A = this chain, B = another copy of it.
Amino acid sequence: MKNILIASTSTLANEDYLAYLLPELQLHFKNCSTILFIPYARPGGISHEEYTNSVALAFAKINKKVIGIHEFEDAALAVKSAEGIFTGGGNTFVLVSQLHKNNVMAILSQVIKNGTPYLGTSAGSNICGLTMQTTNDMPIVYPPSFQTLGVVPFNLNPHYLDPDTNSKHMGETRETRIKEFHAFNSLPVLGLREGSWLDVKGDSTTLKGNLTARLFRQNQTPVELESGTDLSFIK
């Protein structure tokens, strides 16, 4: 049975890394003593070691040990034998490139579908969708494919941001970008605002946190979904 948390962001303004999620993570990873961390997204280009160390500090608060996937010789085997898995944020292009190059994408999707508890934040959440094509990130490396885990049957836009109605900037708003995605693609896209997360338990997907989420479908007006809503209708 799938057991997945898909969080818009790891960190809320003026809070510690993962702080707002720790009570949830204690439950989510209750049967895990060690979490396999996938640091491939390398925010700001930091090393796998640095990133893993900072994640270990946060998980120490709920008495979980963290091991980085880069510490294993066989990354696929590490995924297969993990008790629980966390993929952190950073750059989605870097993350997806590395997952494909290390042949981890397919096996990661498989173990998540088979029930290994998974947490994604930001880029680590984006890859839960069918493709990474609704990421906000810069294409700083060229990945071999835009295909991702597909553990939910739609795409995600983490850090979803409402248009700034006072802005005179002529660059596209997030909504305009997603609309442009739908000029070329038919997958539904869920915009998850910071502080929101999805709790996937088997076939049920519940929106958590205090905010609404915004659902975009091709050729339809976007709709706001209330926290607590079962989102299993989105496909």
Contacts and interface: CB of A to CB of B under 8 A. Distances in A.
Interface of A: 9, 11-14, 42-45, 90-91, 93-94, 132-142, 145-146, 159, 161, 168-172, 176-185, 194
Nearest to A147: B142
Give the interface SS of chain A, mostly helix, strand, loop or mixed. Answer: loop
A91 B169 contact: no
How many protomers of this protein does the assembly include? Answer: 2
A172 to B, nearest CB: 8
A167 to B, nearest CB: 9
Nearest to A90: B180
B13 A170 contact: yes
Contacts of A90: 180
Given A134-B138, A146-B142, A194 B180 contact: no
A177 to B, nearest CB: 5
Given A134-B138, A139-B139, 15 more contacts: A9-B171, A13-B169, A43-B180, A44-B179, A45-B179, A45-B183, A94-B184, A133-B139, A136-B138, A137-B172, A138-B177, A140-B181, A159-B169, A161-B171, A170-B194
A185 B140 CA distance: 8
A184 B138 contact: no
A146 B128 CA distance: 24
Contacts of A140: 133, 180-181, 183-185
Given A12-B170, A146-B139, A180 B45 contact: yes
Contact of A176 (B9, B44, B141, B183): B44
